[in-house]
Each structure stands twice: as C-alpha cells, then as structure tokens.
Amino acid sequence: MNAKYLSKELQIIWELAKPYKISFFLLFFCVTVISLISVIYPYLLGMMINEMIYHRNMQFFMVAGLVYVVLFLGERLMHFIQSNIWTYLSTKFLFDIRKKVFNKIITSKAKTLADSNTGDVISIINRDTSMFMDLIHMNIFHMFNILVRFILSIVFVSAINDTLVILMLIVIPTSIYISSYYSKKQKLIFSEYRDLYGSFISWVYEMLNGIREIQLLASENTVRRSFTKKLMEILRLQNSTYYTEFISERTIVLVSLFSDLSLYVVSGILIIKGELTVGGFIAAIEYFNKANFALKNLNEASMRIGNNLSSVKKISKLLSLQTETERITCRDIGIKQGHIEYIDVSFGYNEKIILDNINLTISQGEKMAIVGESGAGKSTLVSLITRLYTPTKGVIKIDGTDISQCSLKSLRRAIGVVQQEVVLFDGTIKDNLLLARPKSTEREILDACEQSYAMGFIRKLPDGLNTIIGKSGLNLSGGQKQRIAIARIILKNPKILIFDEATSALDYEAEKAIQAAWDRLSKNRTSIIIAHRLTTILNSDKVAVINNGKIVSCDHHLKLINECEYYQQLFHKQYLGVKACAI
C-alpha cells in the first residue's frame, strides 16, 4: 500500500475522529494499561513458582498473590471503562459519520450526483460506514494492543533467557511475511468484489423500480437469468476470498505448531543445562502463546485492513464531492416580481456545449413555453435558474439581481418546480405535501388539493390524505401524481413556476384537470413550461424555440408559425402526432 494513499486515508480518519479525541485518548489509555497488565501476569507467575520451588518462600508467594489480585481487578476496571467508551463511540460516532455522508449527498452538485452510482451510494451509507468503525476498532486499537503485547512479550522473554528470544525472532518474521503475502492477495480480491457488489446492488435497485415494465414486457426470465449470472460472479469472488482466508489460517496454525515444538525442545535442553528455571519455562510458554495469539490476530487484522481501507477510500471520495457552495457575501433574495433575464449564458461539461450564448427575457407574470427537440437543452435551461447547474459563462438575473449572489435557500424557496417525472416518496399523501411547507395546517392542505383538482380522487381513496402511496407513488397514476405535485407547489406559494410537462399520454380528464390546475396556479406568476402539448403552446404568452443549445426565436405562437421555419416544422410534427421529434 503506497504511503500517499495511506496518509490520505489516515487524514480522513483523523478529521472524522477529531470531535471525539478525548474519548479516543481514554480508549488508548485503557488499551495500553490492559496490555501492560496482561504481559506482567506470566512473569509474576514465574517468579511465584520459582520462589516456592527453589526457596520455599511462602511470604513472597502471598504478597505476589495479592499483587496478582490487584492487577486482575485493575484490568477488569479498565475493560469496563473501555467497553463503555466503545459502546458510546460505536453509536454516536457511527451516527455522525452516516449523518455527515448523507449531508454531503444532499448538498452535492446535481452533475456530481448524476455521475454517481445509486447502489454504490447506498452501500457507502449502510456498509462502508460500519467498516469504517471496524477499521478503528480492529485495525487501529486492536493492532495497537497486539503490538504492545508482542513487544513486551519479547522484552520479558529476554529477561528470562536470550536463547528463547532468538527463537522467537526466527519464528515471528516468517509469520509476518506469510501474513503480509495473503493480506495483499485478499485485498485485490476484495476490491474487485466490492466494486462488483456495488454494481449489483444498483442493478437490483433499478430492476425493482422497473418491475412493472419488466412484467409488461414479459421479460421475467431474461431478468432472472441476468440476476443469476451476476449473483454467481459475486459468489465466485466470495469463494476466492474465503479460500484465501482458509489457506492463510491453516498456514498460521502450522507456524504456531512449529513454534510450540521448538519452544519445548529448546526449553528442555536449557533446563537440563541449568540455564532456565521451571518458573521461567512456564512464563516463556505463556509469552510464546501470547506472541502466537498476537500473530494470529495480527494476520486477521492485516487481512481486514485492506477491506476496511477500501471502505474509507470510498467514504473519502464521497466526502470530497463538489457541493453547492455559495459565497459568504450571498444574501437572501426577496423576489417580488419574478422578472427573469438570461444574459449571454452558456453551459457545458466535458468539452460538450449544452447551451450557447443564451439571451432571453421573461417578464413578470409572463407564461413562457420552451420548445425544441429532445436534447436541445430545454431542461438544462430551466435548471440553471434554480442553480442546480452553474453557467460556464454569462449571468442570470431575477428582478435585476444576479442569482449567483443569492443564497440557495432563498432562491429555491421562491421557485416552484413540477418535474416531468414527478418525485413522490414512500409514505402518505399528506407527508409528501408537507415537504413543501412542514407547518401547513389541515385547512391549507385541503385548499391546495382543491385548487390542484386532486381532492376528487383523494376523497375516493380509503384513507384520504393519509393513504400510503407506495415507493415513488407506485399506487397512483401519472395524472394523480402530477396533481399532488401541483398541490405541493401551491403550499409552497412561489413567485416563479417551472413545469416540465410529462411526455407520457394522459387520459382526457386527467390532462384537462392538470391544465386547469396549472392555469390557476400560474395566474399572476412568472411561469416557464417545457412544452410537449399543443394546448400548452397556445395558452402561453410567448414561445422560446431552442435548437442545438441556441435560442432560434422567441415570440408569440402566431408570429412564429408564420415567420420561423424551424418552429413550423416542430409545430406540424406535434400537430400531426409524429413522435420522433415531438415538441
């Protein structure tokens, strides 16, 4: 593992652990004291045996026995404190990490999130944060404990007999080498497994979201085969990991066996020669066992460190995502008119130009329809107003104020957006409406539903506003979801409205209800509609025509239909119902 990589991960660990440094310091203190006491036991026991066998010193035996009891009680106390501190950190520290990760996700730039894999993000929140704690527990504190015991064991054995120390130093490097070899091997396998698992979770998530489409396409068998194939690949990597662990453990067992036999043979010779006492032999056995146990744990911890650092790396990468930043000088914007200006605005990413030198004015209370082919830049144009994206060039002003100088919260509070694919969350209809304004009264909610023409179908539901709508509003039709979205915007009461019309066909009654709700909502408000329907265009004050990221023309429908050739083509395709290039 290169030093630069490790240094970066340790820096992330330190940054996250810093608020709990006192708790971690106490934890280190407890671990150190426990390690010291544990290695004193064998030496004290050896002294007691020697005094009894060789000197018949009962008084020393009693005093040493009392010291042994005091050390034992002290060790138990340290274990109790350690356990309580670790319980606290395991809950509070883990909670804070997950909270920090989630806050980073919801404040990340839209482009950054669009490039992220949903399954990976979910896995980071659930799995990797837990493995982060495992890293601190197993790979920092536990390994520190192991190393302290190991080093002190060597020190105490050297006080007993130099030959035994040499024996330990021959056996130990061999075990470390073997442990390191298998640790590197398993790290590679686990890294591959981790990436594959994240992709698998994301794929399953997508399949579950599209379960209706799969059933309608009668593609269950195809999806089932894909699931089996992906799962088999994951199982293959899991088996490789288990096999590597098995070989590693068996090898360590053989090394331990060789170590024990070597100790018994060498100790026997030393006792015969009079260079080792019985007490020293018993103490040496304890220290050898501790050293072997430490090596076994060191092997396990080293095997896990690659896995755990992989999780820290993923958390680190997520925490380094670009967020929606705003200058200190940003201020709350009080939108009173809703006058919008695009001045020489351009936008693009990865050297691809999406919008090119856009100049567009939308007056107070005006209904502006945006039309163009798929991929022309319509959605990006309106996304710039809410600062989901930032222009690469130019300025957008609302009521004469550059929106880059406005706080995100005040800007988005003044803008209401109904997206093409309405986003509703698992819960009740009321829960989804309260997202717009949590302190809304029952009367205000009912009024919003009446104004959006949603109350008609809500009354027919078994639990009315308290009806569970399912994940992503699965239990509602497209038209019903759009009316709930409009009701949510009514509660928000913004000055500017953005409506991305659904391309999917709605029945006549649903379309009529949504159009009426939108007309009522947009009265005396500046509204921008990404239009896909003829009625929307005809009801708009102006129509902005976009082609390849540029405004081709912007005027009234009647003027455009007579003077703009490109608009004529789009309009006739819509009117004739040609789907390939629908407005």
Q: What is the pLDDT of residues 433-466, one digit of tens each?
A: 998 888 889 999 999 999 888 888 889 888 888 9
Q: What is the pLDDT of residues 510-519, one digit of tens each?
A: 777 788 888 8
pLDDT of residue 70: 92
- Cβ neighbors of 117 (< 8 A, separation 6 or more) are 198, 199, 202
pLDDT of residue 327: 55
pLDDT of residue 370: 92
Nearest residue to 414 via CA among 342, 492, 326? 492
Query: Rounded to 5, what percent of the chain is helix, strand, coil?
Result: 70, 10, 20
Alpha-carbon distance values, 97 to 33, 84, 434, 521, 537 (Å): 29, 20, 28, 42, 49
Spans of the chain, pLDDT less than 70: 1-10, 109-120, 172, 175-176, 179-180, 183, 216, 252, 256, 296, 299-300, 302-304, 306-307, 321-331, 502-508, 574-583
On the 0-12 / 13-18 / 19+ scale of CB atoms within 10 A, 356 is middle
pLDDT of residue 578: 42
pLDDT of residue 220: 83
284/148 Cα distance (integer angstroms): 17
pLDDT of residue 73: 94
pLDDT of residue 236: 86
pLDDT of residue 341: 93
- The H or E element spanning position 449 is helix 442-451
369/362 Cα distance (integer angstroms): 10
5/194 Cα distance (integer angstroms): 18
546/566 Cα distance (integer angstroms): 10
What are the structural domains, with CATH classification, of the chain?
20-319 (1.20.1560.10)
Q: Are 328 and 407 in contact (CB under 8 A)?
A: no
* Tokens describing residue 396: 């957008």
Write down the number of H helices and E strands in the chain.
22, 10
133/128 Cα distance (integer angstroms): 9
Outline where 274-396 has alpha helix (H).
278-319, 378-383
> Per residue in 286-309, is it b (16+ CB within 10 Å) or e — as a string?
bbbbbbbebbbbbbbbbbbbbbbb
pTM score of the predicted model: 0.60
pLDDT of residue 1: 47
* Longest Cα–Cα distance in the chain: 119
On the 0-12 / 13-18 / 19+ scale of CB atoms within 10 A, 375 is exposed
